[in-house]
């Protein structure tokens, strides 16, 4: 297994380019199941989760090519409707094949994704919504076995909780259903918006895109023709590098970003003392004269993203003042805390709230990555820790960040990728 060795206490400088958004790419790849012909997807990030989803589609019978950041997927030849445990266990977003497979074939079996480090991650809301659309669902031997012999029918669905992949699954199921499906309390993340915009441009009329109430007019199992797609920039990758600039109090520039997706992150960094120059599709973070602590409460988009909580905790450690961080979405998304404490951090946890002392003197240590975003928080802390830090189990990082160590090297960080 690989690990990162990072020498701390260096300023960063320079410019890097942000890749396409993993969490937009995954539903778009699942959506190709609804297409009658080859779909071309550009700006596709070369991260492990994308490779896993391509492998899953191939296992179902689709064919694909993936050169550079462009993939061509032909799902018209899919003949197998079972998403197997061995692939699904590697990536819970495989559940995104459930809606499209059921909508197109009237039956499918998808392995239950299981929980992960940050929480139990149930899919009850996905399943309840599909049942309301006429699906019969049985859970046995760790699989969701779904059938809809008469096809899925449009109906009104109210999500008890806002769920990103739940909304995406139902939007894709409704795309081929008979009649109109109204989703109330839908997720509004930019990644959900892109999926809706692509479907809307492919013959599935969708009203309310970007709002929490969507109306999807199904094609009654008529497969789609989908034009070339370019995946939106990854707002979490961009936010992570903005935190790298902030934590080292450096000036760095990110290219190929969409600022409108970054408002919550930018405003929080401004509150902490940092300033920004915004270009057409670039952003430069400027060093702070004085920083201060902050209060973070994670919430659904457009609120502060839970996927940036760990990174901001690392930044809060070196702010000149205390911070508090409330994680409202996941029950166990503080796995990075114990590792940061091993680096000398003063953090007190009580239930879903972390109280973070500022002005911490961090020291390099051997630390263990536990999940994708927690791993990036450890890397950020290592950039300012005294001495050397080794971040182990960085396969978590490779799931969602393209060449993180290379981009940090480009910015002048002293980081090496080594073998255990
Ligand atoms: C998506 O996960 C993202 N993943 C996550 O990013 C992100 O953290 C999360 O949304 C929240 O923004 C992808 O898009 C592939 P949810 P998802 O369903 O859809 C509860 C990353 O780091 N819930 O919006 O799985 C759930 O337990 C990953 O890139 C139910 O109770 O999250 C959670 O408390 C991590 N029942 C809350 O809703 C359900 O059926 C939000 O979960 C579904 C969800």
Say if CB 117 and CB 332 are below 8 A apart.
yes
Residues 216, 149: Cα–Cα separation, whole Å: 21
Query: Nearest C-alpha to atom 1 of ligand 1 is from which residue?
Result: 164
Q: Which residues share a beta bridge with 363?
A: 386
Mean per-residue pLDDT, 258-262: 97
Is the preceding peptide bond at 198 cis, omega within 30 degrees of 0? no
Mean per-residue pLDDT, 69-87: 95
- pTM score: 0.97
Q: Convert the pLDDT of each residue in 172-214 to its tens digit.
A: 999 999 999 999 999 999 999 999 999 999 999 999 999 999 9
- C-alpha torsion sign, points 220, 222, 223, 226: negative
* Residue written as token pair 């760790």: 142
- Which secondary structure element, helix H or strand E, spans residue 3, and what is its range? strand 2-7
- pLDDT of 211 reads 98
Regarding predicted confidence, which is higher, 400 or 120?
400
Q: The tokens of 115 are what?
A: 């929980």
How is 358-404 classified by DSSP, letter by letter? SS---B--EEE--SHHHHHHHHHHHHHSBSEEEEE-THHHHTT-SSH
Comparing CA positions, the residue from 93, 196, 82, 193 lying closest to residue 140 is: 82
Query: Is residue 18 scored above 90 in pLDDT?
Result: yes
- pLDDT of 281 reads 97
Which of 70, 108, 116, 196 does the annotation list as catalytic? 116
Comparing CA positions, the residue from 194, 344, 353 lying closest to residue 260 is: 194
Residues 192, 200: Cα–Cα separation, whole Å: 12
Q: Which of 96, 115, 164 to mutate to test the pocket of ligand 1 (most atoms within 8 A of CB)?
A: 164
Residues 1, 22: Cα–Cα separation, whole Å: 23
Say if CB 102 and CB 146 are below 8 A apart.
yes
- pLDDT of 155 reads 98
Q: Convert the pLDDT of each residue in 217-232 to its tens digit.
A: 999 999 999 999 999 9
Comparing CA positions, the residue from 299, 324, 329, 301 lying closest to residue 313 is: 324
Residues 53, 260: Cα–Cα separation, whole Å: 28
Ligand 1 geometric centre to CA of 165 (Å)? 7
Comparing CA positions, the residue from 136, 213, 148, 202 lying closest to residue 180 is: 213
Residues 202, 38: Cα–Cα separation, whole Å: 13
- pLDDT of 117 reads 75
Ligand 1: which atom is nearest the Cα of residue 301? 12
Ligand 1 geometric centre to CA of 86 (Å)? 21
Ligand 1 geometric centre to CA of 126 (Å)? 11
Residues 250, 240: Cα–Cα separation, whole Å: 14
Query: Nearest C-alpha to atom 30 of ligand 1 is from which residue?
Result: 122
Mean per-residue pLDDT, 342-351: 96
Ligand 1: which atom is nearest the Cα of residue 123? 40
Ligand 1: which atom is nearest the Cα of residue 165? 19
Ligand 1: which atom is nearest the Cα of residue 371? 22
- pLDDT of 332 reads 87
Mean per-residue pLDDT, 120-136: 94
Say if CB 191 and CB 232 are below 8 A apart.
yes
pLDDT category at 331 given cuts 50, 70, 90 is confident
Residues 318, 362: Cα–Cα separation, whole Å: 8
Residues 10, 258: Cα–Cα separation, whole Å: 28
Query: Nearest C-alpha to atom 24 of ligand 1 is from which residue?
Result: 163
Q: Convert the pLDDT of each residue in 263-275 to its tens digit.
A: 999 999 999 999 9
Q: Which of 158, 166, 195, 240 to mutate to test the pocket of ligand 1 (most atoms within 8 A of CB)?
A: 166
Identify the burial level of 263 via C-beta atoms within 10 angstroms of its C-beta, where 0-12 means exposed, 13-18 middle and 19 or more buried: exposed
Q: The tokens of 206 are what?
A: 């969708």
Active site residue 116: yes
Q: How many residues does the chain have?
A: 420
Reduce the DSSP state of residue 13 to 3 states and report it. Answer: strand
pLDDT category at 121 given cuts 50, 70, 90 is confident
Say if CB 388 and CB 417 are below 8 A apart.
no
* Residue written as token pair 């702010």: 319
Regarding predicted confidence, which is higher, 117 or 361?
361
Ligand 1 geometric centre to CA of 306 (Å)? 9
Number of neighbours of residue 201 by Cβ within 10 angstroms: 13
Query: Is residue 115 scored above 80 in pLDDT?
Result: no
Number of neighbours of residue 91 by Cβ within 10 angstroms: 21
Pocket around ligand 1: residues whose beta carbon is below 6 Å from it? 23, 26, 93, 119, 121-126, 161, 163-166, 306-307, 329-330, 372-373, 400
Say if CB 146 and CB 130 are below 8 A apart.
yes
Say if CB 402 and CB 46 are below 8 A apart.
yes
Mean per-residue pLDDT, 225-247: 98
Ligand 1: which atom is nearest the Cα of residue 236? 29
Identify the burial level of 247 via C-beta atoms within 10 angstroms of its C-beta, where 0-12 means exposed, 13-18 middle and 19 or more buried: buried
Average pLDDT over the chain reads 96
Residues 409, 143: Cα–Cα separation, whole Å: 43
């Amino acid at each position: 297994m690989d690990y990162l060795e990072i020498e701390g206490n260096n300023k960063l400088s320079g410019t890097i380019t942000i890749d396409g958004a993993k969490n937009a790419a995954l539903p778009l790849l699942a959506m190709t199941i609804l297409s009658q012909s080859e779909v071309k997807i550009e700006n596709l990030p070369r991260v492990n989760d994308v490779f896993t989803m391509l492998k899953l589609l191939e296992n179902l019978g689709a064919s694909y090519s993936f050169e550079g950041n462009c993939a061509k997927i032909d799902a018209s030849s899919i003949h197998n409707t079972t998403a197997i445990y061995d692939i699904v266990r590697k990536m819970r977003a495989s559940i995104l094949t459930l809606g499209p497979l059921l909508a197109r074939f009237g039956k499918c079996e998808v392995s239950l994704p299981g929980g992960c480090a940050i929480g139990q991650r149930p899919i009850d809301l996905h399943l309840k919504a599909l049942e309301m659309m006429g699906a019969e669902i049985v859970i046995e031997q760790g699989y969701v076995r779904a059938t809809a012999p008469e096809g899925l029918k449009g109906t009104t669905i109210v999500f008890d909780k806002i769920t990103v992949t739940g909304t995406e699954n139902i939007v894709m199921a409704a795309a081929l259903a008979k009649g109109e499906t109204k989703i109330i309390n839908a997720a509004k993340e930019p990644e959900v918006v892109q999926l809706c915009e692509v479907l809307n441009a492919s013959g599935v009329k969708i009203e309310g895109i970007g709002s929490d109430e969507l109306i999807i007019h199904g094609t009654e199992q008529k497969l789609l023709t989908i034009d070339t797609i370019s995946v939106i920039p990854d707002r979490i990758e961009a936010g992570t590098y903005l935190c790298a600039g902030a934590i080292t109090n450096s000036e760095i520039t990110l290219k190929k970003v969409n600022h409108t997706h970054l408002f919550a992150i930018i405003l929080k960094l401004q509150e902490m003392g940092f300033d920004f120059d915004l270009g057409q599709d670039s952003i430069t973070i400027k060093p702070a004269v004085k920083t201060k602590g902050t209060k973070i409460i994670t919430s659904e988009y457009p609120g502060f993203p839970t996927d940036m909580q760990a990174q901001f905790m690392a930044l809060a450690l070196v702010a000149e003042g205390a911070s508090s961080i409330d994680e409202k979405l996941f029950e166990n998304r503080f796995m990075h805390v114990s590792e940061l404490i091993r680096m000398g951090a003063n953090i007190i946890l009580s239930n879903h709230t972390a109280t973070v002392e500022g002005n911490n003197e961090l020291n390099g240590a051997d630390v263990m990555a536990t999940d994708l975003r927690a791993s990036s928080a450890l890397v950020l802390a290592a950039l300012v820790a005294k001495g050397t830090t080794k971040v182990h189990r960085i396969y978590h990082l490779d799931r969602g960040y393209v060449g993180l160590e290379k981009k940090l090297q480009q910015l002048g960080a002293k980081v090496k990728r080594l073998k255990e």
